[in-house]
Amino acid sequence: MKDAKNETITDSEWEVMRAIWTMGQTTSRELIDAMNQLQGWSDSTTKTLLHRLINKGAVAQSGTSRPFVFKPIVGEKESMAAAATDLFDHMCAMRAGSTIAGVIKTRELSQADIAELQAILTEKAKTAPEQVQCNCLPGHHMCEEVEEHGQ
């Protein structure tokens, strides 16, 4: 996974970012307590992850004396969007639709989410092609064959 600045963010680092985004800003003590409560992580685990996120430019330290305050530099929405784009970029174009369908099936969505999705789909249906072309290895037809057998 990558953040909005195209840096790879690990699963553990994502959990720390989620906490920081939710809190808006945090001291290392508050963050350590939060991650201990949420994940059962030790002080040193959270401190290590926080410093990696600072080095990756995802979090900034402000203030000149203790306790330092830490704030997210990358936004939650843009980071989620970048991570989702990254995931789909690694996937056969033919598979994107069924993958999205699977995500929609298994996730809880609000009435507003569903209304938005329906509006987007109605709009997309106006110009959608009959079939999305595979963008894997040219000259190989594995993706299409699997698709035809009802995968």
Distance in Å, CB of 146 to Zn ion, minimum: 9
Size of the site for Zn ion (CB under 5 A): 4
CB of 35 or CB of 143, closer to Zn ion? 143
Say how many C-beta atoms besides its own lie within 10 A of residue 30's C-beta: 16
Figure out which of the listed residues 4, 32, 82, 143 binds Zn ion, where binding follows CB under 5 A.
Answer: 143
Q: Which of 83, 96, 136, 146 binds Zn ion (CB under 5 A)?
A: 136
Residue 96 makes contact with Zn ion by CB under 5 A: no
Question: Which 3 state secondary structure label does DSSP give 126?
Answer: coil
Nearer to Zn ion, 20 or 134 (CB): 134
Question: What single DSSP character describes residue 109?
Answer: -
DSSP designation for 5: T
Shortest Cβ distance from residue 86 to Zn ion (Å)?
18
- DSSP, collapsed to helix, strand or coil, labels residue 118 as helix
DSSP string, 29-95: HHHHHHHHHHH---HHHHHHHHHHHHHTTSEEEE-SSSSPEEEESS-HHHHHHHHHHHHHHTS-GGG
**From 23-31, 71-79, 116-124, 143-151, span contacting Zn ion (CB under 5 A):** 143-151
Please choose, out of 29-37, 45-53, 54-62, 92-100, the segment that lies near Zn ion by the rule CB under 5 A. Answer: 92-100
134 belongs to the binding site for Zn ion (CB under 5 A): yes
Our CB check for Zn ion shows the closer of 67 and 102 to be 102
Query: 70: closest CA among 81, 78, 59?
Result: 59
Query: In whole angstroms, how close is the CB of 133 to Zn ion at the nearest point?
Result: 8
Contact 54, 60 (CB under 8 A): yes
Q: Which parts of this chain interact with Zn ion (CB under 5 A)? A: 92, 134, 136, 143
